[in-house]
A and B are shown apart, each in its own frame.
Chain A
């Protein structure tokens, strides 16, 4: 067999397989991310919180809303301006970088102080442990963290008492669930949807 025949065979094979070798379709990649737990890390929320605090020049960052979607490496937060507490802006981060900011309309009837989340009260450094515990409790094949939200949750002793905490939404091909944690990372419960 002449050497050039090998080269032609190789070239023909390369053209036939062209564009296929080593690439992963988007759907398969997302499946891989979910199989690893959804992609949440502490820095996904910690980084944007530090960045927002630095931009506003405050050590006491005050939020009305904080939500992370690990699958898209996205974090959205509504931040109160420390210099004008009735001025609220929505910050959108993706991949750790600030993508956009936009003003949020606030009604004169809104009691912002009662809705405010003080970031210093949140155990952000416990979030990875919390998500691991939530997934272990969920214990469902293909389970992953779909979103994390800092919000009011039911108190453990007095269910009528709302307190600041974390809601971790879990998903799987067959069922969804929500795990609740106190602000300091204490596990409060898992509710199947």
Chain B
């Protein structure tokens, strides 16, 4: 059976599998990002911080109505229940206003949140790398402090004075007494 993509048929089976796997991963990553961004927008912009919609004002508000307001309307659909909706308005100097609604700000914020989620690895990776380097530096420094004076060997090869001390036994066979990390004592 041939596919509609001739180039796909030219690939070896292993290549097809890799390509399929890559496409599936990209597809899932894309929809995962969309889901994450939409959920972030719903939780943050409706549940916690409706004023976040004001961040879209520079794009959505006309020049003559630059001041954004997120207006809340609370209704009571049934006794004991309340429902709140949010609308973004752009207000001018004379009090003239434009109803921007909620869909366009939310769509823009979803894009913004998607960008943030994408940026997180680029921010966290260098931080983690720097921290790892700093920790390595601390370890090396601690190791150098433990070394005896004059030991210029590479880090990690230093032995404590106890290790370097060679004890001579009565039979003149050398006995190397063990240090902390040196495992069992070799000796006669």
- Which A residues lie at the B interface, using CB under 8 A? 14-15, 17-19, 21-26, 29, 32-41, 44, 70, 73, 95, 128, 144
Contact = CB atoms under 8 A, between A and B. Distances in A.
Contacts of A95: 98-99
Contact of B71 (A18, A23, A35, A36): A23
B112 interface: no
B109 to A, nearest CB: 12
Contacts of A22: 49-54, 70
B48 interface: yes
A70 B93 CA distance: 14
Given A37-B94, A39-B97, A41-B92, A23 B70 contact: yes
A73 B96 contact: yes
Interface of B: 46-54, 69-74, 84, 86, 89, 91-99
Contacts, number: 79
B94 A24 contact: no
B71 A17 contact: no
B71 A26 contact: yes
Nearest to B50: A23
A144 B95 CA distance: 10
B50 A39 contact: no
Contact of B50 (A21, A36, A38, A40): A21
B95 A34 contact: yes
B48 A24 contact: no
B48 A18 contact: yes
13 contacts: A17-B48, A19-B46, A21-B51, A22-B54, A24-B71, A25-B72, A25-B74, A26-B72, A33-B91, A36-B92, A36-B93, A37-B94, A41-B92
